[in-house]
Chain A
């Protein structure tokens, strides 16, 4: 009986080690590998750019991010990662600091593992703007305002600040692999059918708190760790 318990413990430990190694490997590959069908049933979407709103921790801001089809307005505090699934580039993000101090607000676009564009301000209520994938001449209509950019689906992921995680976010046709750090605002541009997302934290990642909003209404909330799954009802 003792041997069996020991064996069970060892087996659990070994699979945990393998799982941790896999998770670290996937994270280290920085969006190059995808989940290759091991999670979810959808083909992988293209690698996604990440819009990082950085600077002095806690600095409040308002922002609008737009691709060619949809735009989203939101508020938050530094730091925040923003990712658009199913986007159609070019995309642009504009952020305005909403404090009168000299705190730093920095907008960075991460693409292909490096900083593609960067703008900063320390001015009171200073504004910064960056874009990726070409020129976006017009800010698109708000997500959910037209039949061809509906619904407005957002997933807000919070957890211990700056802790990295991997995630698979998918609708019925495409899955997007995300490697980011909390907190993150995931915007799904015009999802095809219902959306679900699975978040993989490292073993030291205590708990994800994930909210899914549909057209401004919270439709699902999950608090789990080190992994968490949220589904559109």
Chain B
């Protein structure tokens, strides 16, 4: 009886277990067995004019071979949001900005699908929150309660569904191949908000674009048998080729190898004249228990193809790991969270490059980050181990060049020898060029800028969050920001800050911005003036370990409540390398401090090309400078990534008049607006204070102004 009870008790769960497992296996098998092709999806934006941002919240893209497929049709294939956002099981979505993808497609994701000939595609927007629109400040009357700019407005679709579909053709991936689907996403405004904070009602449409807006990189990898002992690790990263933006570790797309061949389809900058502007990429070959390899490519043009290789790697490598800890060189045992570690390799085109002294000439083949305790690498997934846990061990105790960077610290270049995954000894690093090796517990040098910024305090019960940035003097290359913004209350008239900066930089420009709310909701742009300080001499290098230096600049400019403003315009003869930099003058020195930049959007050959730029910035006086990224030379492989340079007319001044005040006196500033037409905002709004900020007398900025400025 006891056995009977035990048997009956056990049998039911076993049956359940077996059934569940069988069903799972069956569904897994049927789903995965046929998903042997890939589709890469990209978006090109076609936003309405007059907006700083046109943001859509995309949950997924689906494609189907049946043009009239019902929503629950079994043949729908899903391209989910990218892994860093979520996956099929996550309630997460990717926010795309149609304004920034007008010239170059923004890759969405690549996914395995079944090998059908697809007839229809759809994007699924978040039904609860399909998107957000941020208009520029209004140009001219009539102005009303709902006309304010540089703030978030919800998007409401004119149709009752957030699933947008389009017929497609030519998407018919064969087994093991990659197909591309580029979708143009258009937004047309049907109705502006009718109540404060109300939605824009708009129509979103979808249309397929030809693949000629992309370029193709094909090639092969030649794997020769190595003499290593191999590896017993069960999960090995597959051998793959990753395209990275030149000189960075930013992956754009990754392609697995099929019969040792690969195909990457990548955004390529075009233009009005053939072959186009061209986009530069690096290739990193890694995985598969093979040695690393790297390539730096010549410019890639739309509709064109680059053939690479064969790229030589050696297989059967013993895999090891590089682990350790990154700490602050000034504060003992203080971990550095979020440091980035990169293994560098010289590209085939420049195989003699010394990555230790010229890292800009090399390609990143593996990346890791530190965790909250300063330890690296972060764990990978069960199926995708961390890159630093599968580093091929070089023969004869060979070493890799490893670069460690963290905001506010000097970069550190070391030689690193991975440790065998079966060894008790850890990886070792050398900070003296290979003379001696020790544990990869490394420290980064830093120094401090401790300053004070005057601020008009907020009213009781409110706070202002202030963030301070340090950048290389005369550039917009930001080196550091405060680890947390400073909260300013009504009892504070100054902001005291201490900022980590790399001591190897001789001089910095500083600027301080605020993070505000607009009528209680998140404000995408600040309403307080930006305080700048130019030419701050950086702290000296530590005189000895742990003895670090501080400089103490004083800001002359005050952070005031002023309200939003915007600058818009066009740029003559722009190319895809053209941008506009906005700076503010440090009146004490007469130097400009660069604040932000705007890519020139909607260029030829787009229909109705406008070559426009726009900024949402607090009402104030600024300077605009055209900046040009050099056009890559056709068929020439660069040794380093090009850098943008100022071009054309020296800086042009522009003054955005402050918004009229609500519930208070009219603005006291007398600065005349520049450009045309002249904004004539009227203070008749019913919106209550505070808007983006408020003044000590309870008044607050009303509807903001826009200035038009053409850049020659």
Residues of chain A touching chain B, judged by Cβ–Cβ distance below 8 Å, are 7, 10-11, 13-15, 17-18, 21, 52, 54-58, 60-64, 71, 73-79, 92, 94, 96, 98-104, 106, 108, 110, 113-120, 122-125, 127-131, 134-135, 137-139, 156, 158-164, 181-183, 185, 204-206, 209, 211, 218
Instruction: Indicate if the CB atoms of B85 and A17 lie closer than 8 Å.
Output: no
Instruction: Indicate if the CB atoms of B86 and A206 lie closer than 8 Å.
Output: no
- Whether B494 is near chain A, meaning CB under 8 Å from some CB there, is no
- Minimal beta-carbon separation of A91 from chain B (angstroms): 12
- Whether B126 is near chain A, meaning CB under 8 Å from some CB there, is yes
B-chain residues with CB within 8 Å of residue A15 when the two chains form the complex: 13
- Minimal beta-carbon separation of A159 from chain B (angstroms): 6
Chain A residue at minimal CB-CB distance from B6: A7
Binary per-residue interface labels of chain B (336-376) against chain A in the complex, 1 for a CB within 8 Å, 0 otherwise:
01111000000000000000000000000001011111000
Instruction: Indicate if the CB atoms of A118 and B57 lie closer than 8 Å.
Output: yes
Known: A108-B92, A139-B463, A162-B381. A156 touches B17 (CB 8 A): no
Give CA–CA (A110, B89) in the complex, Å: 14
A-chain residues with CB within 8 Å of residue B132 when the two chains form the complex: 118
- Whether B505 is near chain A, meaning CB under 8 Å from some CB there, is no
Chain A residue at minimal CB-CB distance from B53: A120
B-chain residues with CB within 8 Å of residue A102 when the two chains form the complex: 245, 250
Instruction: Indicate if the CB atoms of B382 and A115 lie closer than 8 Å.
Output: no
B-chain residues with CB within 8 Å of residue A205 when the two chains form the complex: 382
- Minimal beta-carbon separation of B655 from chain A (angstroms): 24
Give CA–CA (A185, B467) in the complex, Å: 23
Instruction: Indicate if the CB atoms of A118 and B129 lie closer than 8 Å.
Output: yes
Instruction: Indicate if the CB atoms of A125 and B469 lie closer than 8 Å.
Output: yes
- Whether B515 is near chain A, meaning CB under 8 Å from some CB there, is yes
- Whether B487 is near chain A, meaning CB under 8 Å from some CB there, is yes
- The residues in B between 4 and 62 inclusive whose CB is less than 8 angstroms from any CB of A are 6-7, 10, 13-14, 16-17, 20-21, 55, 57
- Minimal beta-carbon separation of A100 from chain B (angstroms): 5
Partner of A73, one of B84, B367, B483, B515: B483
B-chain residues with CB within 8 Å of residue A104 when the two chains form the complex: 84
Instruction: Indicate if the CB atoms of B13 and A118 lie closer than 8 Å.
Output: no
Known: A14-B13, A17-B13, A160-B379; 20 extra A-B contacts, CB below 8 A, are A17-B17, A18-B16, A52-B92, A76-B372, A94-B485, A96-B467, A100-B478, A110-B92, A118-B57, A118-B93, A118-B126, A127-B515, A129-B515, A130-B522, A131-B521, A139-B465, A162-B83, A162-B87, A164-B89, A185-B372
Give CA–CA (A163, B297) in the complex, Å: 36
Instruction: Indicate if the CB atoms of B483 and A75 lie closer than 8 Å.
Output: yes
- Whether B284 is near chain A, meaning CB under 8 Å from some CB there, is no
A-chain residues with CB within 8 Å of residue B491 when the two chains form the complex: none
Instruction: Indicate if the CB atoms of B462 and A137 lie closer than 8 Å.
Output: yes
Partner of A120, one of B95, B248, B477: B95
- Whether B260 is near chain A, meaning CB under 8 Å from some CB there, is no
Instruction: Indicate if the CB atoms of A124 and B485 lie closer than 8 Å.
Output: no
Known: A114-B91, A129-B522. A75 touches B465 (CB 8 A): no
A-chain residues with CB within 8 Å of residue B465 when the two chains form the complex: 64, 94, 139
- Whether B569 is near chain A, meaning CB under 8 Å from some CB there, is no
Partner of A158, one of B13, B367, B379, B467: B379
- Whether B607 is near chain A, meaning CB under 8 Å from some CB there, is no
Partner of A60, one of B92, B407, B515: B407
- Minimal beta-carbon separation of B42 from chain A (angstroms): 15
Give CA–CA (A15, B128) in the complex, Å: 40
A-chain residues with CB within 8 Å of residue B84 when the two chains form the complex: 54-57, 78-79, 104
- Whether B484 is near chain A, meaning CB under 8 Å from some CB there, is yes
Instruction: Indicate if the CB atoms of A138 and B461 lie closer than 8 Å.
Output: yes
Instruction: Indicate if the CB atoms of A131 and B461 lie closer than 8 Å.
Output: no
Instruction: Indicate if the CB atoms of A161 and B489 lie closer than 8 Å.
Output: no
Instruction: Indicate if the CB atoms of B10 and A14 lie closer than 8 Å.
Output: yes
- Whether B317 is near chain A, meaning CB under 8 Å from some CB there, is no
- Whether B90 is near chain A, meaning CB under 8 Å from some CB there, is yes
Query: Can you list 6 residue pairs at the A/B interface with Cβ under 8 Å?
Result: A14-B10, A56-B84, A60-B338, A100-B478, A131-B522, A204-B382
Give CA–CA (A115, B125) in the complex, Å: 12
Number of interface residues of B (CB under 8 A): 76
- Minimal beta-carbon separation of B521 from chain A (angstroms): 7
B-chain residues with CB within 8 Å of residue A77 when the two chains form the complex: 337-338, 369-371, 378
Binary per-residue interface labels of chain B (463-491) against chain A in the complex, 1 for a CB within 8 Å, 0 otherwise:
10101010000001110111111010100
Chain A residue at minimal CB-CB distance from B339: A60
- Whether B596 is near chain A, meaning CB under 8 Å from some CB there, is yes
Give CA–CA (A11, B9) in the complex, Å: 9
Instruction: Indicate if the CB atoms of B10 and A11 lie closer than 8 Å.
Output: yes
Give CA–CA (A218, B335) in the complex, Å: 13
- Minimal beta-carbon separation of A89 from chain B (angstroms): 13
Partner of A100, one of B379, B384, B477: B477
Instruction: Indicate if the CB atoms of B380 and A98 lie closer than 8 Å.
Output: no
Known: A75-B338, A75-B483, A106-B95. A56 touches B10 (CB 8 A): no
- Whether B139 is near chain A, meaning CB under 8 Å from some CB there, is no
Give CA–CA (A92, B522) in the complex, Å: 9
Give CA–CA (A33, B69) in the complex, Å: 35
- Whether B167 is near chain A, meaning CB under 8 Å from some CB there, is no
Instruction: Indicate if the CB atoms of A18 and B483 lie closer than 8 Å.
Output: no
- Minimal beta-carbon separation of A116 from chain B (angstroms): 8
Instruction: Indicate if the CB atoms of A125 and B85 lie closer than 8 Å.
Output: no
Known: A10-B14, A76-B372. A161 touches B380 (CB 8 A): yes
Partner of B484, one of A62, A76, A106, A130: A62
- Minimal beta-carbon separation of B82 from chain A (angstroms): 8
A-chain residues with CB within 8 Å of residue B483 when the two chains form the complex: 62, 73, 75
- Whether B517 is near chain A, meaning CB under 8 Å from some CB there, is yes
Chain A residue at minimal CB-CB distance from B336: A75
Give CA–CA (A7, B406) in the complex, Å: 57
Known: A77-B338, A160-B381. A122 touches B478 (CB 8 A): no
Partner of B378, one of A108, A135, A158: A158
- Minimal beta-carbon separation of A145 from chain B (angstroms): 12
B-chain residues with CB within 8 Å of residue A18 when the two chains form the complex: 13, 16-17
Known: A125-B478, A137-B462. A14 touches B517 (CB 8 A): no
Give CA–CA (A123, B367) in the complex, Å: 21
Give CA–CA (A64, B483) in the complex, Å: 9
B-chain residues with CB within 8 Å of residue A108 when the two chains form the complex: 92-93
B-chain residues with CB within 8 Å of residue A21 when the two chains form the complex: 16, 20
- Whether B100 is near chain A, meaning CB under 8 Å from some CB there, is yes
B-chain residues with CB within 8 Å of residue A10 when the two chains form the complex: 10, 14
Give CA–CA (A161, B449) in the complex, Å: 36
Binary per-residue interface labels of chain B (376-409) against chain A in the complex, 1 for a CB within 8 Å, 0 otherwise:
0011111010000000000000000000001100
Give CA–CA (A56, B248) in the complex, Å: 13
Give CA–CA (A54, B95) in the complex, Å: 11
A-chain residues with CB within 8 Å of residue B13 when the two chains form the complex: 14-15, 17-18
Leading 7 A-B pairs by shortest Cβ distance: A60-B338, A135-B520, A17-B17, A14-B13, A73-B484, A75-B337, A57-B84
- Minimal beta-carbon separation of B153 from chain A (angstroms): 14
Give CA–CA (A64, B461) in the complex, Å: 19
- Whether B524 is near chain A, meaning CB under 8 Å from some CB there, is yes
A-chain residues with CB within 8 Å of residue B523 when the two chains form the complex: 129
- Minimal beta-carbon separation of B641 from chain A (angstroms): 11
Instruction: Indicate if the CB atoms of A138 and B463 lie closer than 8 Å.
Output: yes
Instruction: Indicate if the CB atoms of B250 and A101 lie closer than 8 Å.
Output: yes
Instruction: Indicate if the CB atoms of B126 and A114 lie closer than 8 Å.
Output: yes
Instruction: Indicate if the CB atoms of A160 and B89 lie closer than 8 Å.
Output: no
Give CA–CA (A78, B82) in the complex, Å: 13
- Whether B94 is near chain A, meaning CB under 8 Å from some CB there, is yes
Give CA–CA (A185, B473) in the complex, Å: 36
Instruction: Indicate if the CB atoms of B378 and A60 lie closer than 8 Å.
Output: no
Instruction: Indicate if the CB atoms of A181 and B90 lie closer than 8 Å.
Output: yes
B-chain residues with CB within 8 Å of residue A125 when the two chains form the complex: 469, 478, 481
- Minimal beta-carbon separation of A227 from chain B (angstroms): 16
Instruction: Among A54, A76, A117, find the residue whose CB has the most chain B CB atoms closer than 10 A.
Output: A54
A-chain residues with CB within 8 Å of residue B481 when the two chains form the complex: 62, 96, 98, 125
Give CA–CA (A123, B128) in the complex, Å: 26
Give CA–CA (A104, B515) in the complex, Å: 19
Instruction: Indicate if the CB atoms of A114 and B128 lie closer than 8 Å.
Output: yes
